[in-house]
Amino acid sequence: MTFSLRFRAAVVSIALFAAFLGIWHLATRSTGTAANMSPEYARLMGLTATQGKSAMPGPLDVGAKLWEHLKRPFYDNGPNDKGLGIQLGYSIARVGLGYFLAVIVAIPLGFLIGMSPLINKALDPFIQVLKPISPLAWMPLALYTIKDSSISAIFVIFICSVWPMLLNTAFGVAAVRKEWINVARTLEVGTVRRAFTVILPAAAPTILTGMRISIGIAWLVIVAAEMLVGGTGIGYFVWNEWNNLSITNVIIAILLIGIVGMLLDQVLARFTRMVTFPE
């Protein structure tokens, strides 16, 4: 009896995950009494000293804590103690806003660059210099000029997501097949209508690919940006929990960052599939 490839892959995935959890559990479990000490002193020292338990939390600790978080994702006990849902919400909102601004700027500008060889050549040196700058390097400048840490974080997201979209849009627009343009030309289609009925659909898959790269980068950068600006967001949460020495929470945050990043990517992947046309 043969199972589908999908099923077999799922079995292997689950087995690998189980093995990972098993090794993790064994590596972090208690090893019995490590040192003799008075009970009072032992209570003070905690399990790490008394039973040789690793400072690294085990999968069960993480699981229990995660369950706790999932039960109450939106509690708010003041600036340093908010639910994970709230923290993630802040991060997603920042990414969404910065990314949206980047879309508004990058796609029209990319169209212009793609359609005009002059603009392309004129802007190329600027793009080449600005593109490799780490988005976080803009942070001090943003803080100084904007004077608001939250908007600065949005600006950093904007600046990091703008490049892949800009370059992909320009490339997609410039690479539209000549024959499609010629079809529009022989039908006396005006520039604006041509841009919307021929160039946009033809370049859409490339543009969407750029947008998908951008959302990935934006989500990478938001964690670092929030560690710097502080206050709210999943990046701040990670750093705050590190200061609290709560490795459990740090691990949970890492897991959630991964899941949210995957979901964002999947959404864009779906959009890309919607505009892709078979030839």
Q: How far is the CB of 197 from other proteins (least distance, A)?
A: 7
Q: How far is the CB of 178 from other proteins (least distance, A)?
A: 9
DSSP letter at 32 equals: S
- Coil, helix or strand at residue 76: strand
Q: How far is the CB of 221 from other proteins (least distance, A)?
A: 33
Rounded to the nearest 5 percent, the helix, strand and coil shares of the chain are 80, 0, 20
| Closer to other proteins by Cβ: residue 199 or 268 | 199
| Closer to other proteins by Cβ: residue 126 or 277 | 277
Region of residue 78 (left: phi > 0; alpha: psi -120 to 50; beta: else): left
Q: How far is the CB of 156 from other proteins (least distance, A)?
A: 36
Q: How far is the CB of 205 from other proteins (least distance, A)?
A: 10
| Closer to other proteins by Cβ: residue 25 or 185 | 185
CA distance 169 to 109: 8
| Closer to other proteins by Cβ: residue 33 or 182 | 182
Residues that bind other proteins (CB under 8 A): 177, 179-180, 182-183, 185-189, 197-198, 201-202, 275, 277-279
| Closer to other proteins by Cβ: residue 202 or 269 | 202
CA distance 276 to 205: 5
Q: What is the per-residue DSSP string for 175-199?
A: TS-HHHHHHHHHTT--HHHHIIIII
Cα→Cα distances 75→8, 86, 97, 165, 172, Å? 41, 8, 24, 36, 45
| Closer to other proteins by Cβ: residue 198 or 253 | 198
176, 198 in Cβ contact below 8 A?
yes
Q: How far is the CB of 4 from other proteins (least distance, A)?
A: 27
For residues 215-228, one letter each, b for 16 or more C-beta atoms within 10 angstroms of the residue's C-beta and e for the rest, the string is bbbbbebbbbbbbb
